[in-house]
């Protein structure tokens, strides 16, 4: 069985259509499936739509969060609830073409354990967004070695990869990179991003920026090492300037050079502050992880799944 996991946040216009389109495609391809909607604390009638989608087709199941925990939490809740032999993650707005699922499924049948759908084109996005995404991916690549160019959350994962992800203990996750971090036989397939079926994008700049910083710091320690590197460079610089100052002092022309002092204080001060900021950021992440808070809290569920009992021991994860 194939589990289709769909995170949904304020997607009332899309639920019914998305469920129909995906189940239509899978039925036509003769694939046994379940669809799991994860309602990420929507404020509109998304949950009611999910319930009625379940009533129309019992292959549709739903998990509802007690509040908005973010797409990452929704993805992991879906992975936990999935009972299939493999799982596909797809957006609710049909920007990821569901027609591709049967292809991905047949790649899985012929041995692929992770099938990543790569964006051949990025669809309609503002120049600013494109630039932001590009520099973010560049940073991720140079710092963690994982190439995310064109990567999306549209992926098929074998049960083994799903289990591996479910076992990860960390709270701060970055699914897009983690799915390639777990390894396994990976194949790629290309797709073109389509415009949203309905509704508006759920991201704004603050949300995106937070997502980017979180992803980078949860994947690499490079920013912390950078501080050390900058510190060493400034140390050398300070030694040179120090020698020069001493020479000046002993030659008796020490009165000059106030501008250098001011500049040095400013630059070094700024570096120290940035450094403390970065260390503070990692510290706060350690703090977050150490609290061992759940990634999400489930408020309600609809649909039991084929294996009867939901395959989770607890609602908190």
- Chain positions contacting ligand UDP, by CB under 6 A: 7-9, 11, 40, 68, 70-71, 74, 91-93, 95, 201-203
Please spell the DSSP secondary structure of 32-92, one letter per residue.
-EEEEEEE-S-SSTHHHHHHHHHHH-TTEEEEEESS---HHHHHHHHHHH--SSEEEE--T
Smaller CB separation from ligand UDP, 120 or 233: 120
Smaller CB separation from ligand UDP, 33 or 69: 69
Q: Minimum CB separation from ligand UDP for residue 278, in Å?
A: 26
Out of ligand UDP, Mg ion, none, what residue 113 binds, judged by CB under 5 to 8 A for its kind, is none
Out of ligand UDP, Mg ion, none, what residue 7 binds, judged by CB under 5 to 8 A for its kind, is ligand UDP
- Can you give the length of the chain in residues? 317
Smaller CB separation from ligand UDP, 93 or 158: 93
Q: Minimum CB separation from ligand UDP for residue 96, in Å?
A: 9
Smaller CB separation from ligand UDP, 154 or 219: 154
Out of Mg ion, ligand UDP, none, what residue 92 binds, judged by CB under 5 to 8 A for its kind, is ligand UDP
Q: Contact, 154 vs 96, CB < 8 A?
A: yes
CA atoms within 13 A on the CB side of 115: 23
Measure the CA–CA gap between 45 and 11, rounded to whole angstroms.
Answer: 8
Q: Minimum CB separation from ligand UDP for residue 46, in Å?
A: 8
Out of Mg ion, ligand UDP, none, what residue 158 binds, judged by CB under 5 to 8 A for its kind, is none
CA 29 remoteness from chain centre: 30
Binding site for Mg ion (CB under 5 A): 91, 93, 95
Dihedrals phi, psi of 99, to nearest 5 degrees: -60, -20
Q: Minimum CB separation from Mg ion for residue 91, in Å?
A: 5
End-to-end CA distance of the chain: 24
Measure the CA–CA gap between 279 and 285, rounded to whole angstroms.
Answer: 10
Smaller CB separation from ligand UDP, 61 or 71: 71
Nearest to 69 by CA among 36, 44, 42, 96: 42
Measure the CA–CA gap between 166 and 153, rounded to whole angstroms.
Answer: 16
Beta-carbon contacts of 219 under 8 Å, excluding residues fewer than 6 positions away, are 140, 143, 144, 146, 174, 177
Q: Minimum CB separation from ligand UDP for residue 257, in Å?
A: 53
Smaller CB separation from ligand UDP, 129 or 184: 129
Smaller CB separation from ligand UDP, 38 or 112: 38
| Pairing between β-strand 2-8 and β-strand 86-89 as defined by DSSP bridges | parallel
Q: Minimum CB separation from ligand UDP for residue 11, in Å?
A: 5
Q: Minimum CB separation from ligand UDP for residue 293, in Å?
A: 17
């Amino acid at each position: 069985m194939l589990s289709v996991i769909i995170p949904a946040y304020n997607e009332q216009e899309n639920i019914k259509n998305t469920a129909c389109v995906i189940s239509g495609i899978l039925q036509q391809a003769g694939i046994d499936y379940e669809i799991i909607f994860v309602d990420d604390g929507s404020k509109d009638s998304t949950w009611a739509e999910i319930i009625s989608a379940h009533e129309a087709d019992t292959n549709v199941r739903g998990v509802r969060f007690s509040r908005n925990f973010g797409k990452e939490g929704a993805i992991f809740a879906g992975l936990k609830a999935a009972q299939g032999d493999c799982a596909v993650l797809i957006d609710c707005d049909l920007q990821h073409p569901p027609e591709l699922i049967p292809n991905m499924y047949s790649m899985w049948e012929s041995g692929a354990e992770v099938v990543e759908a790569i964006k051949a084109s990025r669809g309609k996005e503002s120049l600013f967004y494109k630039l932001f995404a590009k520099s973010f991916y560049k940073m991720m690549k140079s710092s963690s070695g994982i190439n995310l160019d064109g990567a999306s959350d549209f992926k098929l994962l074998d049960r083994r990869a799903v289990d591996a992800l479910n076992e990860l203990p960390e709270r701060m996750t970055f699914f897009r990179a983690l799915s390639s971090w777990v390894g396994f036989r990976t194949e790629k397939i290309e797709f073109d991003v389509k415009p949203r079926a309905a509704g508006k994008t759920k991201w704004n700049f603050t949300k995106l920026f937070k997502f980017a910083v979180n992803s980078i710091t949860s994947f690499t320690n490079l920013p912390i090492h950078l501080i050390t590197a900058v510190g060493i460079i400034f140390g050398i610089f300070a030694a040179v300037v120090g020698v020069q100052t001493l020479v000046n002092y002993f030659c008796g022309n020490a009165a000059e050079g106030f501008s250098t002092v001011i500049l040095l204080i400013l630059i070094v001060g700024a570096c120290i502050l940035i450094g403390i900021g970065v260390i503070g950021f990692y510290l706060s992440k350690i703090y977050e992880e150490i609290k061992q808070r759940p990634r999400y809290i489930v408020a309600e569920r609809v649909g039991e799944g084929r294996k009867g009992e939901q395959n989770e021991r607890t609602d908190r994860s």
